Every structure is written in C-alpha cells, then in structure tokens.
A and B are shown apart, each in its own frame.
Chain A
Amino acid sequence: MADDAPWYEAALLVGVTNALNVVADSPLESLEPASPSAEAQAVFAEIRAFYGRPDVPAAFRRVAADAGYLADLWGATRRVFDDNQLTRRHKEALAFAVSVTTRSAFGTAFHLGEMRRLGVGERGVLEVLGVTQMFSSYTKIADTLQLEPDMDGIAAVDPSPAPGGAAPALRTRPPEAP
C-alpha cells in the first residue's frame, strides 16, 4: 500500500464511520419519521439492498425526515464502503476497528455483523480485534511518554498527481546572482 490512494480512502471511511456512529449511538429515536417520504423510502430500499438486510440502520432512519440530506449521506456512505482501492471486506474491518476504539455500541455490532456477512471468519475477526487492542496500548504508552514520530521515514512518498490532475511541475532553482 505504497500509493496514497488507499490511505485517502481509509481516511474518508474513518470519518463516515464515526459520523454514522455518533448519530446511531445518541438517544435520537424520536427523530425517526413514523412515515418516511417516498424519496426517503427509495433511499431506504438502496440501503437495504446494499447491506442485504430487511431493516435500515438507525444512523439513516434518524435523518430520514430530510430526504435530501439522507440521500447525500447515503451516497457518501456507499461510496466509501463500496469496493474500490480497498475491498468492502477490508473496509468493514477498518470500520469495526474504529467503532471498537471509539466505544461505539452501534458501530461495533453493525460492522462485526457486516464482516461476518462478507465472509470474515472468527479468526479474522480476532485478528482485527488483536491489532485494535495492541495499538490501543501502543498509542497510549507513546502518548504518555510524549514520544515524537520517528518512523515516518519508512513510508514511501507517492509522486502521482491528484486523480484526473497533472503531475507537479519540476521545480527549477532560480538563477543565481552573478
């Protein structure tokens, strides 16, 4: 994973996972419309199909009173969770790790379910949990001692341009004074 693209993708996934979790874990049941609009129902149908389940996750139900917002939230969610540079299976593992780390009851259960549905075995689940737990230890030890980053030199720099863009111009030294 020397290219930047999968890391951009992972970062967007972390953000959306947290955004869904904060709404789903909050006491916001009262916001769920009793009779969602036709537009919201259409989005719900896409969500059910994507996750292969009969119900709609709470994070989406709670914003369904604004069908336009729901559609955009779902569009962003689908984009970051669908297969791309990273597989959907791996993305669910990342979302599970984020949810465990942030103590999200909704996210932990939801993404554990999705990992299993997408074929991750018990060993695979425990592997993700082990990495999550070990780095939850590692990071706190480092923070307590206020260690400074010293491993960034390992990572290669990706010289490719932004998607659809041009490669950066070569920088030349300005002429020196005679």
Chain B
Amino acid sequence: MPTVRLRDASEYPAPIQKLFEVAKAWFKYDFAQPPAMSRVMAWDPEFGGFHGRAMKRAMTPGEWTRAEKEMVAAVVSGVNACAY
C-alpha cells in the first residue's frame, strides 16, 4: 500500500491535467488514471517540472534509441530492487 493517498487526476488543477494528457501521449498508452509516479511528480510542479524535463531529456533518442534507453532504465530499476 502506498504511504500516501494518490489523488485521482480529477483532483488536480486543470493545467496539471493537461500535463497528464501529455504523459499519456509520451507513453502511447491509455491509462485509466495517470501512472502513480506522474501523479506524485505533479504534487509539486516546481519540482516535477524540472525533474520531468530532465527525465524527458534523458529518455529522448540521441546516440541511443528510446528502446535502448528504456532497457538501461529497466536494469537500473532492477539493480535498485524497485518493484514499481
């Protein structure tokens, strides 16, 4: 169980809900609710904005493809024993 109550997308202000739509397009997946991490990042937009942009920069194709980067992300998450 999460240690906080994750708010539904509808509980966030309108500008944040627009960002959730952007996230949906990024993942190319129609979530019933935005992923938990998206909702956590949206809790503090002054943090989430920077962190989200840094994340997007890191994951944008460059010398490595998006798929190759996703695999790097997966092994880092695995080594960190992160179930999420």
**A contact residues vs B (CB 8 Å cutoff):** 1, 6-7, 10-11, 13-14, 18, 86, 90, 93-94, 97-98, 101-102, 120-121, 123-124, 127-128, 130-151, 153-154
Please tell me if the beta carbons of B64 and A139 are within 8 angstroms of each other in the complex. no
Chain B residues numbered 11-36 whose CB sits less than 8 Å from any CB in chain A: 27, 29, 31, 33, 35-36
Q: How many residue-residue contacts, CB under 8 A, span A and B? A: 130
Residues of A within 8 A of B83 (CB): 143, 148-149
Q: Is B80 located at the chain interface by the 8 A CB criterion?
A: yes
Q: Which residues of B contact A (CB under 8 A)?
A: 1-4, 6, 27, 29, 31, 33, 35-37, 40, 51, 54-55, 57-59, 62-64, 67-80, 82-84
Q: Is the CB of B35 within 8 A of A150?
A: yes
Q: Across the interface, do A98 and B71 meet the contact criterion of CB distance under 8 Å?
A: no
Bound CA–CA A86/B63 (angstroms):
16
Q: Are A143 and B84 in contact (CB under 8 A)?
A: yes
CA distance A101 to B78 in the complex (A): 10
* Chain B residues, CB < 8 A from A149: 83-84
Q: A145 contacts which of B2, B73, B76, B77 (Cβ < 8 Å)? A: B2
Closest A residue to B29 by CB, please name it.
A154
Chain A residues with CB below 8 A from B69, complex form: 127-128, 131
